[in-house]
Structure 1
Amino acid sequence: MAVTRDQVTELLDSLLVKYNKRFRPGHGETPLYIRAHILIRSMGPVTEIDMSYSMQLYYRQVWYDKRLAFNLGNITELQLNNKFLHKIWVPDTYFLNGKKSYQHDITVPNMFLRMRKDGRLYTSRRLTIRARCPMVLKRYPMDEATCHLNLGSFAYSTDDIFYIWAHGDESVEVTSVTMTQFEMMEIKVSNATLHRNHALYSILGVSFYFTRNLGFFILQTYLPCSLVVSLSWISFWINRDAAPARVLLGVTTILSVAAISMTVREGLPRVPYATALDIFLNVCLVYNLSALIEYAGVNYFTKTGPGDPPENEEDEYEITETEKALLPLDKMNTHTLEHVDAQNMMESCVAAPQPPSQTLKSKKYGGSCLNAFWNCLTGNTTYRYAKNATMDKERGLSVSRIDRVARYFFPLSFATFNFFYWYLYLTPRRF
C-alpha cells in the first residue's frame, strides 16, 4: 500500500508534538555518540601572512534520537530539508581553531537531513572553513607545513557527548585538490580529550601535511638574484680607471637585490628569525657589496689621486733629470704621479722582485696583509704614496692583482655557499 504525502505530514507532526529540542537524546542516561565524516572538495589558499588556511568541505555527522523513531508502511527513511532541522535537537559542533568560517546559503541553506525509522539521523552541511595554521618559517621556502582542524561540542562534556570518526582513518576524504604553492602529502585523524572549564570535552582532530612547491621561488627569486650577483663580477674585468662604470655597476646590482628582497618579504609575516630565503638574499647582497668594496681596495692600492704629497721627504718620489727634460715647462716642478700602475694589496702578502733603488721603501712599506688592510682602513696617506713610489713604472695600466684574485675567489666562494645552502635545506625531514 502506497504511503501518501498526507500520511507523511501527519507522521512528522505527531513526532514533534511532545518533542523537546532543548534536551539531547538520552538526556540523563549514557553519553550520546556522534559519528563524523568529512569530504573535502577544495583546499587553499594557505597564507603565511596571517598563519591560516581555508578549505571547502561537506561535514557529515550521524547520531541516534529514539524520540524520532517511526513506523510507516514500507518507508524506511525520510529525506528532509533544513527547515525540519530547526525543530529538532542537533549537535552544537564547532571548530576549535576556526576563524571566519561560514555555511553556504546560496540559493538555499546547503544542508539536508535523512531520518531513518529506527531514529538514526544523518546530516550533511556544505561549509567553508578558515582555520589557524601556525607555521615555523625558518626553512621557507623549502619548508613543510602541518595544519590542524579540531572540532567538538561547544557546551556538552564527555558526560553527555562523545565524538568518534565514522570510518576510522578513512573518515576524511579528499577529491582532486590542487594548490598553487603547496602539495598535500598526508592526512591523519585523531581522537582526543580536552580539559576545559573543569570538565572534559571530546575532540576530533585532522592533521594536513603540506610541502611547498619550490618552482615559483627558483624562477622569481633564486635565479634572478644569482644572475645579479654574477653581473657584479663583470667589474673585475673592467679597467681600473673606469671608476664611473665600476661604481655604477656595483650600485645597480645592490639596488636590484634590495628591490627583490623587499618584494619577497611583502607576503611574509614579521617573524623574529631569519628564513632560508632571507639568508640567501642577504648573502647575495653581501657579495654585491663586496664587489664594490673590492674596487675601493683596487683604487686605494693602485691609484694616487690629486692632493699634496706626504710631508716626509723620505717618502717622496724624486723625478730624474731625464724625466724633467721630457716634461713641459709648466710642469717642470710637479711631483704628481698620474695614471701609474702600483703595487696592490695582494702584493703585500706575496713578495715580488723590485728594482734595487726601491728595496728600502719596499721593506718599509711592505709588511703583512693585515698591515696593508689596516692602513687602508685608516686612510694612511703616507703609506699610500710610499706604496705607489715602489711600483714598477714600466708596467703601465696592467690588471691589478686584486682583480685577478677576485675573478676566481668570488665565483668559487659563491658556488661553495650554494652547495652547502641547497644541501642543508633540501635534505628531507619528517613533519
Structure 2
Amino acid sequence: MRNVTSLLDKLLQKYEKSVRPGIGGEPLVIKTNMLIRSIGPITESEMTYSLQCYLRQSWHDERLKFDLPNITEVTLSNSFLKDIWKPNTYFLNGRLSVQPNITVPNAFVRIRKDGSIYMSRRLTINAKCPLNLLDYPMDAPVCPLLFGGYGYTTDEIIYRWPANNKSGVEIYDDVTMSQFDIASILAKNTTYSSSVGTYSGLEVYFHLKRHIGFFMLQTYLPCTLIVCLSWVSFWINRDAAPARVLLGVTTILSTAAVGLIQRDGLPRVPYATALDVFLNVCICYNLAAIIQYAAVNYFTKIIPKEGSTSDDEDVTTEDTKENQNGVNLSKLPRKTQSRCLFLFCKCLIGNFRFRYDMVASADITSGNSVSNIDILSRYIFPFSFCLFQAFYWAWYLGLKPY
C-alpha cells in the first residue's frame, strides 16, 4: 500500500489533466461498451425514455505507466478521476441524465502497468425517443441513444465499439418492460459534421415491440361489445322509441368515454392512430344504429298499435285536398317507391306526400309488424363489422405496404 500510494503521488506530480493523452500524435481511441441494467418507462406524451446502464470506457495514457513488482493493475475510487484526464462524453439526445451518488458516486477506474485506463460509471439516462404513432398500439418504436465527445474532432479523439463485440451493448437477462419487448439492439460507429469540424460518436438503437394485450382487454374488446350491444335495438319493437333511442345514445357515449381515457396519455399528433381509427369506426356504427331507427320510424312505422292512423306527422293542405278529391293513394306506383335511393331521398327532404301515401295504403288490421329494414340490418351490421375487423387486424398486423 505504501508503494502504491507513493506511485500515485509520483504519477500525478507532473500530470496535466487538462491535456489529452498523446497530444500532437495520432487520434486517441476511446473504446466503449455498455451494460443495460434496466430500461423504461417510455413516455408517449413527452416522447422520451429512460434507462440505467454501466458506461465503460477505456483508453491509453502513456503518462500513467508504472512498474511495480507483482502488480499489473490498480483499482482506484472515483476520487482519483478528479486528478486525471478523462473523456468528456455527453449524450446528444439526452435530457436530465444523472449519475447516482448514493452512497458514493457510482464510478471507479483501473490503471494497468502499460498505461491502459478502464473507467466505469453507472448512469441514469433520460433521452428523446421520436415516436411514430400511426400504428399505435401495434407499433414497434425505435429509441436511439446518441453520444460522443464534446469539443474534440476526429483528428484528436475517435470513439469505437469493441471489435470483439458486435453490438458493444449488453443487457441483463432479467430486464423486462411492462409495455414492450426488446426485439433487438443495434449499435454502430458514426461521425457528426458541423461548421467547426467532424466529430466521432456512437449510436445505439433499441428496437421495441409494444404489448397489445392491455389494449385488447381495456379498449378493443369493450368497444366491440358496445357495438354489438347497439344491434339489440334491431330486435326491439319499433313502437318502443324511447328504448331504442336511449340504447343508441348510451352506446355512443360509452365508446366516446373509452376513447377519451385511452387518448389521455398520448401526444396531440396531427394524424389518426390505429386506435383512433378503430374507435371512430365503432362510434360510426353506433350512430348508424340510431339513424337506422330513424329510417324505420319514417318508412315503416305507419300506424300506432291500436290501429288508428299515425298523428305524429303533419299532412299538407294540398295533400289533404288531393285525397278529398277522390285520388286513390293506394294505387300510386310502387316500383319507384321500392328503390332504396328514392326512399332515402324522400326521407332527407321530408316528403309528406310520400308519408301520407304510405299511411293511406297501410293495412290497419295488421298494425306495425317487424320492419324489413330491421330484418335486413340484423345481417348487414354484423357482417360489415366483422369484415372491417378482419381488414383492420390484417392491415395493422403486417399486411400494409409500408
Q: TM (normalized to structure 2)?
A: 0.93
**Aligned-partner SS, 1:168:** coil
Equivalents in 1 of 2:321, 2:336: separation in Å?
A: 10
> Which range is displaced more, 239-248 or 374-383?
374-383
Preserved CA contact (<8 Å) 2:158 2:200: yes
Displacement after TM superposition at 1:428 (Å): 6.7
Q: SS of the residue aligned with 2:265? A: coil
For 2:127 and 2:361, locate their aligned partners in 1 and report how far apart those are by CA, in whole Å.
72
1:381 aligns with 2:349: no
Equivalent residue in structure 1 for 2:66, among 64, 67, 70: 70
Give deviations 1:290-342, integer Å, cap 9, x for gaps: 00011111111123443543323567778xxxxxxxxxxxxxxxxxxxxxxxx
Over 3 Å counting, the alpha-carbon distance change for 1:233 and 1:363 in structure 2 is: closer
**Is residue 315–residue 386 contact of structure 1 (8 Å, CA) maintained in 2?**
no
Q: Does 1:151 align with 2:157?
A: no
Deviation at 1:189, TM superposition (A): 1.1
Q: Which residue of 2 aligns with 1:353?
A: none
Cα distance in 2 for partners of 1:416, 1:380 equals 35
Structure 1 residues 315 and 276: CA distance shift in structure 2, 3 A = farther
| Distance across 1 between alignment mates of 2:112 and 2:400 | 48
Deviations 1:71-92 (A, max 9, x none): 1121111110011100000000
Q: CA offset at residue 146 of structure 1?
A: 0.9
Within 2, Cα distance between the matches of 1:116 and 1:207?
Answer: 32
Deviations 1:165-199 (A, max 9, x none): 12431411011211111100111111111102330
Question: Which residue of the other structure, out of 168, 171, 178, is the alignment partner of 2:168?
Answer: 171
Equivalents in 2 of 1:241, 1:272: separation in Å?
A: 44
Alignment of 1:85-100 (within 5 A): 85-100=81-96
Is the 2:21–2:28 Cα contact (8 Å) retained in structure 1?
A: yes
Measure how far apart 1:362 and its partner are. Answer: 4.0
Is residue 287 of structure 1 aligned with residue 272 of structure 2? no
Alignment of 1:279-428 (within 5 A): 279-303=277-301, 304-306=310-312, 308-313=314-319, 359-363=330-334, 366=337, 368-427=339-398
Q: Distance in 1 between matches of 2:194 and 2:143?
A: 22
Residues 1:30 and 2:26 aligned together: yes
The amino acid that maps onto 2:397 is: L
Aligned to 1:184: 182
Which runs of 5 or more structure 2 residues have no equivalent in the other structure? 302-309
Q: Is the contact made by 2:180 and 2:211 (CA closer than 8 Å) also made in structure 1? A: yes
Distance 1:214 1:395 in 2: 52
CA distance in 2, matches of 1:151, 1:215: 34
Task: Find 1:252's aligned residue among 225, 250, 253.
Answer: 250
Letter in 2 for 1:360: K
Question: Are the counterparts in 1 of residues 92 and 147 from structure 2 also a CA contact under 8 Å?
Answer: yes
Q: 2:47 aligns with which of 46, 51, 56?
A: 51
CA distance in 2, matches of 1:25, 1:360: 105
Give 1:10 shift: 1.2
TM-aligned CA distance change 1:407 to 1:44, over 3 Å: same
Whole-angstrom distance in 1 between the partners of 2:118 and 2:18: 19
Corresponding residue SS for 2:272: coil
| Corresponding residue of 2:270 | 272
Aligned partners of 1:301 and 1:388 also within 8 Å: no
The reply on whether 1:195 has 2:166 as its aligned counterpart is: no
Amino acid at match of 1:183: D
> Are the aligned partners of 1:64 and 1:120 in contact in 2 as well (CA < 8 Å)?
yes
Q: Aligned in 2, Cα 1:429/1:88: closer, same or farther, shift over 3 Å? A: farther
Check whether the contact 1:361–1:390 (CA below 8 A) recurs between aligned residues.
no
Q: How many angstroms does 1:245 deviate by?
A: 0.5
C-alpha distance in structure 2 between counterparts of 1:266 and 1:282, whole Å: 16
What is the Cα-based RMSD across aligned positions, in Å?
A: 2.1
Give the number of aligned pairs: 391
Which of residues 5, 11, 24 in structure 2 aligns to 1:15?
Answer: 11
Q: In 2, distance between residues paired with 1:429 and 1:29? A: 54
Q: Distance in 2 between matches of 1:265 and 1:284?
A: 15
Per-residue deviation, 1:11: 1.0
Which letter maps to 1:299?
N
Q: Kindly indicate whether residue 132 of structure 2 is the aligned counterpart of residue 136 of structure 1.
A: yes
Within 2, Cα distance between the matches of 1:243 and 1:367?
25
TM-score of the pair, normalised by structure 1? 0.87
Q: Distance in 2 between matches of 1:67 and 1:99?
A: 35
Distance across 2 between alignment mates of 1:267 and 1:424: 24
Instruction: Give the distance between the partners of 2:348 and 2:205, measured in 1 at CA.
Output: 57
Counterpart secondary structure, 2:141: strand
Cα distance between partner residues in 1 of 2:205 and 2:352: 67
Partner Cα separation in structure 2 for residue 362 and residue 238 of structure 1: 31
Equivalent-residue separation in structure 1 for 2:20 and 2:83 (angstroms)? 13
Of 81, 99, 104 in structure 2, the residue corresponding to residue 103 of structure 1 is 99
Structure 1 residues 135-192: Cα deviation after superposition (integer angstroms, max 9, x where no partner) = 1111111111111111110110101000111243141101121111110011111111
Decide which structure has the larger Cα Rg and report it: 1
Q: Residues 254-296 of structure 1, C-alpha deviation per residue, up to 9 Å, x if partnerless?
A: 0000000111111111111111110000000000000001111
For structure 1, the 5+ residue unaligned runs are 319-356
Question: Is the contact between residue 302 and residue 388 of structure 1 (CA under 8 Å) also seen in structure 2?
Answer: no
The 1:41/1:429 distance shift into structure 2, 3 A limit, reads farther
The 3 A distance-change label for structure 1 pair 210 and 364 is closer
Mapped to 1, the partners of 2:336 and 2:155 lie a distance apart of 89
Instruction: Name the SS for the 2:131 alignment partner.
Output: coil
